[in-house]
Each structure stands twice: as structure tokens, then as C-alpha cells.
Amino acid sequence: MRVMNKFLLCAILPGFALVLAFVPQRAASGSPQNPGVESVPTFHAQPPEGPLPQTMRPELFADPVIKNAYAAAARVKKALYQQPCYCYCDRSQGHGSLLDCFASRHGSGCETCVREALYTYEQSRKGKTPAQIREGIERGEWQTVDLSKYQKPIPAK
């Protein structure tokens, strides 16, 4: 009987471990995932109902691109509120949208946040809705933002 228990234990445990290894796991957010593709980070699908947090003042930063990213973020806060951030700071920092990156210093040290904010700014100036901008961000279009254009101050509204 003892030999049979050892045999079952040796046969069942590795089998159980293999099953666990191949069962797909759900993301912490509960959103469905495609194999090899990250889920869309957290964002707000609707416009804000109340006041939004202030973005940090651009003058706090020496780098002109960072200054411009914070200045642009202040101009398009409602649109940023409805955008995901692909540095996945929703997981590491608890951010609820791209706006949170610019209500803190986080955006100043993250090129992903800077490019996404400047992409949102550019697309907003073209008349795109937050939903249309989000579709572009999800496609990765923010990666094509030319940061060299932001070495000089962006024009006043």
C-alpha cells in the first residue's frame, strides 16, 4: 500500500504541475488577453464628471521637451484622462490614466508618457476625439512623435 501511495504521488504531482503550467492565467485587471500581447492599460472611457487633478507646472523642469510635454498635458487634460499609458504605470504606480503621469513627476522620466501626451496634444489640435486618439495610441502611433519639434516652446493656445 505504501509503495502504491508513493507511486501515485510521483505520478500525479508532476502531471498536476504540467496542467497548471499550460492553463492560461488571467490578467490582474481581469481583461482578456491575446497570447503574446499585453492588455490595454487602464483608462477612463468617458469624460470626467468632476474636476481633474492639476498637472505639474512646466517651469519645474529644465529639459525643453519635458517642459513642453507638461504644458501640452495641461492643455489636454480631459483627453489625457481618457487615454491608457503604455509604460503600464497603472500596474506599477496605480495610475488610472495618462493624466496621472503628468499630475506627478512620473511623466518627466518616461519617454512613453511624454510621447503619448504629445501625440494626444497633436491629435486634439487636429480635432480628433479622445476615443479616436485612444485608437491611435493602442495602434502605437504615439511612437512616431518627433520629439525634436519640441525643443522650443509650443505656441500659446
Q: What are the pLDDT digits (tens) for 22-36?
A: 333 322 233 333 334
DSSP symbol at 133: H
Q: What are the tens digits of pLDDT across the range 35-55?
A: 344 688 888 888 888 999 999
Residue 2: per-residue pLDDT: 61
Q: What are the tens digits of pLDDT across the range 122-151?
A: 999 999 999 999 999 999 999 999 999 999
Residue 92: per-residue pLDDT: 79
Q: Do 102 and 55 meet the contact criterion of CB atoms below 8 Å apart?
A: yes
Which three cell numbers mark 83?
A: 487615454
pLDDT higher than 60, residue 90: yes
Residue 3: per-residue pLDDT: 53
Average pLDDT, the chain: 80
Residue 5: per-residue pLDDT: 52
CA dist., res. 107 & res. 113, Å (int):
5
pLDDT higher than 90, residue 79: yes
DSSP symbol at 76: T
Beta bridge partners of 80: none
Query: Mean per-residue pLDDT for 73-100?
Result: 89
Residue 6: per-residue pLDDT: 53
